[in-house]
Structure 1
Amino acid sequence: MRAYHNALAQPRPHSQSTPVWLFDLDNTLHNASNGIFAAIDGRMTQTIAELLDLDTTKADWLRRHYWQRYGATLIGLHRHHQIDAHEFLHRCHDFDIAPLLSAETQAAALLQRLPGQKIVFTNAPLHYALQVVQQLGLLPVVEGVWSMEHMYLQGQFRPKPSKQLLQQLLARLPVPAQQVILVEDTLRNLKSAKQLGLQTVHRYHAGTPYSALHRGRSPYVDLRVESLRELAQRYHQLKI
C-alpha cells in the first residue's frame, strides 16, 4: 500500500459505479481516546516546549489554542513560528502505538463487507497512519492513505474540514462525489463533505471528545452508527 496521493497521479474518468469509502482514522477505525490521543498530546506539548523554548504550561496552552483556532495545532505552528511540519509530526507520533490500540474485533472482515474501495483519510501523518492500519490488520483491505503530508495546498496546510482539500481529493477519485462516502467521528468534517455532495456517516460513540457533544440528528449526516459492525449491517441504507 502506498500514499493515495501518489497512487492516482492522473485523475481517472468518472465512469465507475463502485463506491469509494473515505475512513477517518482516529476514533473511527480505532478508539484513540483510550490512550493514543493522550500520548500524542503529551509529546506535542513537549515538542512545542522544546522548539519554542517554553515551559510546559505555556506550550500546552499554545497546543490547545492553535487546535481550536485552526483545527490542527500544526497549522498555527507552521504559520506563526515557521516550525518544520515534517519534524514536528514525526516527533509527536514517534512512540509505540501497539500497547495503546483499542479497536473492534474482526475490523478487516467488517470493512470487506462494504462494497467498493476503502481509503484512510486522516489529518495524522503518514508514518503513524500506516502503523495503525498495519497493527489493526487492515493492510489487505485499505487501498491507500491520504494523510497530513498530502494536505499542503497552495502554500498552506489545509486539513479536514477544508473544502479545497476535499475538492482536490475528489478530482483524483474514479467516481462522482455522490458515490463517495466519508465515515467520520467529527461532525464539522462531515458538514463540509456533505456540502460538496458526498454521502456521510457519523461514527458516533459517547466516549470520544467530538461525538459526545452531538446526540441528536444532523442535517449533514446520512447515517449514524456506533460501530463498524453496525455500518456493515446498515450500509445499504446509503445510496450506493
Structure 2
Amino acid sequence: MKNKIFSKVVVPFAICLLIAIALYPSAILNPEDYSTDGIDLEFDAPKQYAMVTKKEKKEDKVFTPYLGKSFEAFKEAIAFKESQGNYFTVNTYGYLGKYQFGKETLKMIGIHNPTYFLNTPELQEKAFIANTKRNKWILRKDIKRFVGKKIGGVEVTESGILAAAHLAGAGSVKKFLRSYGKTNFADGYGSTVRYYMKRFAGYDTSFIKPDRRAKVTI
C-alpha cells in the first residue's frame, strides 16, 4: 500500500516541485516561510557516533565524543583538564595554550616564540607530542620499574606517569615514585602528581616513543 501511495502521490509531486523551482526559483523555498513546529525531529544515532557523558564532578557533566582509552582520548582529556581545550588561553601563572605549557619547557623542545606558539594550534599539538616523548625517555626506567605497582593507593600506569610529568615535570614524578608517594608535588592550583597519576591512568600511550632529543618542527 505504501509503495502505491509513493508512486502515485509522492513521485508526481516531487517532479512538479523540481519544475517549479527551475521556472520560478525566487517564489519557492523561502526559509523564513517554514517552521519545524510540531514536527518530530527525534532520531537514533548509531552507537559509534553517539555522545557519552563523563562526570568531571558530581554536579558537572562533560560531553565528549567517545574515544575510549586511545592516545587521542589521553591527549584530549589532559587538554580539557588544563584549559578546557582552549588553544588561545593564558593562565594566571603565564602558562600557554591548550596544554598549558611553560616558556622554559617550550625552549627545551625548540620553541622560542611564545606568541607564535599561542596562536598556532598545529604547533601546540606537536609540542605535546614532543614533550611527552622527552618525558617518556627521562622516565623510561621508572616506567619499567613501577608500572603495575600501587603507590599512595594509586595503581601506577604509563599514561598516569606521563600525565603527571606533563603537570609537574619528570623530576617531580621520579621523586613521587621513588619515595613511594611521600613526595607529592602540587602546582599553584593544588593539582598533585598523585591526582594526575590516578585521573589519567590506563590510557594507551604506546604511540609515544622515548626520545631524548625530541624537538618540534613545523
TM-score category of the 2 structures, normalised to the smaller one: under 0.3
Between Structure 1 and Structure 2, which shows a larger proportion of strand residues?
1
TM-score, reference length from structure 1: 0.23
Larger relative CO (CA 8 A, sep 6+): 1 or 2? Answer: 1
The structure with the larger Rg is 2
